[in-house]
Chain A
Amino acid sequence: MKELQDLKEISHNIYKAVYNNKEILLTKSSYPPYYGERKFDNLREWIPSRSKLSAVLLKGYNLKFRGDEKLLYLGAASGTTVSHISDILDKGIIYAVEYSAKPFSKFLELSKMRKNIIPIFADASKPENYSGIVEKVDFIYQDIAQKNQIDIFIKNSNFFLKENGEGIIMVKARSIDSTEDPEVVFNEVLKELRKRFKVLAFNTLEPFHSDHIFVHVKVLK
């Protein structure tokens, strides 16, 4: 078997390495593979075409985690990305919301294995319904392809985001407006977000995901 080269930790439990002359991302994990990714000793490969957050990090944008954060995850699907965040926040808690039954039932299997995941079967556009479950969090991660995805993010941050909290939104242009030029949609989204947040960074997810940008925001003081 080939070896990982140039292994370095870029953030708590997140590693970059070179494998087969290609840069790859990994998280430190004592758990077995979850979605067909490779495992190298105690490191789990984090595949960028499967997880938008991996794409963000592989593109060179770094997020600093301490490992004990509380995080609210909207749009968990079957938990591909959550599984890695669960590795990263080994001393934290992840509240993960998903409203579609089929992917959620697979996600439940992951939740049962991982002690830091609280699965919530609910509609993210109605945060009031899980307001008695989720405490104030340091971070909101949102990846839901919905027309009103920005409203949903703002609503949830009103309910749950701490005063110095941050968030990442994966914005999909076509689900907001399928007829408008994506560039126009993205600008509109940034304008909307800037009313409420400081935009720390944004970028496309090319070449891993088309028609998406990520936006990293922080609550305005």
Chain B
Amino acid sequence: MKYRLWLGDYDNDLHLSKDFFKSFLSCKNDNPVPSEAFEVAKKKISNYYEELRKVAIEVAEKEVEKELKREDRYVVMLLKALDELIESINILEEKYRDLVEIKNSGVVESLNRSINDLKKLRKEIEKEIEDIMLKIAPNLSEVAGVKLGARLIEKAGSLEKLATLPASTIQVIGAEKSLFKAISRMKKGKKARVPKHGIIFQHPFIRTLPKRKRGKMARFLASKIAIAARVDYFSGELKEDMIEEVRHRYERIARS
């Protein structure tokens, strides 16, 4: 059996690698490495832990920097791809339904299979978005939910941008379309109501309230979302009490 250690390969004897940084990044083993391997390694180089720490820190610094640069762009692009995918699935399903009515040919069956594959891909992308969101925006994911949180990042453009928006803006994110409509009606001298329903109104704590109470909850939620986005952007650490506060406020408003 051969095992890959951070400082080289082990097969009853240790063959030191020429480049510890490289071997550190590729020391994957499908099975647990026997403890003798590490004991041999510790004898092979004199300052084992010192060397390991040095390599670990240097590798981590590089990896983290790479990750910080790309992580929220990745979610945003995934979400855009997901939107396109969902639209394609809907269109293709419609065409498929028309086609089977006419003739259930081999090609039509292939189309059906491909649609099912696309649906699987859709689930995969959704799962990936969820995983990444929990990692890069744990507070936003808790307070807004993963889907809504990702959508807010996408609409704002990045987590950094979302973190700089005031709560009042967050409350109407996604309402732009109806906002523009309202403005153009007003310009024509017609009556129009300024929308206060951004996408945060999809949140279960707002949706499940009677209409007259929603505005109040939306204001509170928007302020918490603003804080969550800031904490995520600046420290990325989960504050466990934030969601409790939101839940309590929801229960109080629901009862009032």
Q: Taking beta carbons and an 8 Å cutoff, which residues of A are in contact with B? A: 77-78, 93, 99-106, 108, 111-112, 115-121, 128-133, 135-136, 145-146, 158-160, 209-211
Q: Is B53 an interface residue (CB 8 A)?
A: yes
Evaluate whether A100 and B135 lie within 8 angstroms (CB atoms) in the complex, with A106-B235, A118-B53 already known: yes
Across the interface, do B35 and A133 meet the contact criterion of CB distance under 8 Å? no
CB distance from B131 to the nearest CB of A (A): 9
> Are B238's CB and A145's CB within 8 A?
yes
Q: Are B32 and A120 in contact (CB under 8 A)?
A: no
The reply to whether A159 and B56 form a contact with Cβ atoms under 8 Å apart is: no
Contact of B57 among A106, A108, A160 (CB under 8 A): A108
Query: In the bound complex, do residue B28 and residue A133 qualify as a contact, i.e. CB atoms below 8 Å apart?
Result: no
Q: Does B52 contact A (CB under 8 A)?
A: yes
Is B38 within 8 A of A135, CB to CB? yes
| Cβ contacts under 8 Å, B234 to chain A | 102
Query: Contact: A108 with B28, CB < 8 Å?
Result: no
| Residue ranges of B at the interface with A (Cβ–Cβ < 8 Å) | 3-6, 23-24, 27-33, 35, 38, 49-50, 52-53, 56-57, 59-61, 63-64, 67-68, 71, 134-136, 138, 232, 234-238, 240, 244
Are B68 and A210 touching (Cβ within 8 A)? no
- Number of A-B contacts defined by CB within 8 Å: 99
A102 with B53, Cβ < 8 A, contacts A132-B28, A210-B244 known: no
Measured between beta carbons, the chain B residues less than 8 angstroms from A77 are 237-238
| B56 surroundings in chain A (CB, below 8 A) | 111, 118-120, 133
Closest Cβ of chain B to A108, distance in Å, is 6
Given A93-B49, A132-B4, is A119 in contact with B60 using a C-beta cutoff of 8 Å? yes
Q: In the docked arrangement, what's the CA distance between A130 and B236, Å?
A: 23
User: Which are the 6 A-B pairs with shortest beta-carbon distances?
Assistant: A132-B27, A102-B236, A135-B38, A101-B67, A131-B29, A132-B5
Q: Roughly how many angstroms separate A132 CA and B9 CA in the complex, as a whole number?
A: 9
| Chain B residues closer than 8 Å to A160, beta-carbon distance | 32
Chain A contacts of B53 at CB under 8 A? 111, 115, 117-118
Could you pull out 8 A-B pairs where Cβ atoms are within 8 angstroms? A77-B237, A93-B49, A100-B138, A102-B237, A104-B64, A128-B30, A132-B33, A160-B32
Q: Which residues of B contact A210 (CB under 8 A)?
A: 240, 244
Shortest B25–chain A CB gap in Å is 10
Q: Are A132 and B68 neighbours in the complex by a CB distance under 8 Å?
A: no
Question: What B residues does A130 contact at CB under 8 A?
Answer: 27
- Interface of chain B, helix or strand or loop or mixed? helix
Chain A residues near B136 (CB-CB < 8 A): 100-102
Q: Name B61's contact: one of A108, A120, A209 (CB within 8 Å).
A: A108
With A100-B138, A129-B28, A132-B6 as contacts: A111 and B236 at CB distance below 8 Å: no
Instruction: Please tell me if the beta carbons of B52 and A118 are within 8 angstroms of each other in the complex.
Output: yes
Closest to B23 in A: A132
- In the docked arrangement, what's the CA distance between A51 and B71, Å? 27
- Tell which of B33, B59, B68, B240 touches A131, judged by Cβ atoms closer than 8 Å: B33
Docked complex Cα distance between A108 and B59 (Å): 11
CB distance from A153 to the nearest CB of B (A): 15
By the criterion CB–CB under 8 Å, are B68 and A136 in contact? no
Q: Given the complex of chains A and B, what is the CA–CA distance between A103 and B235 in angstroms?
A: 6
User: Nearest Cβ distance between residue A47 and chain B, in whole angstroms?
Assistant: 14
Q: Which of B5, B38, B59 contacts A136, CB < 8 Å?
A: B38
Chain A residues with Cβ below 8 Å from B59 are 121
Chain A residue at minimum C-beta to C-beta distance from B130: A147
- Are B28 and A101 in touch, CB under 8 angstroms? no
Cα separation A107 to B232 with both chains bound (whole Å) = 15
A105 touches B28 (CB 8 A): no
CA distance A158 to B38 in the complex (A): 17
Contact indicator A132/B32 (Cβ below 8 Å): no
Say whether B244 contacts A100, CB under 8 Å: no
A106 to B240, CA, bound (A): 19
A214 to chain B, nearest CB (A): 15
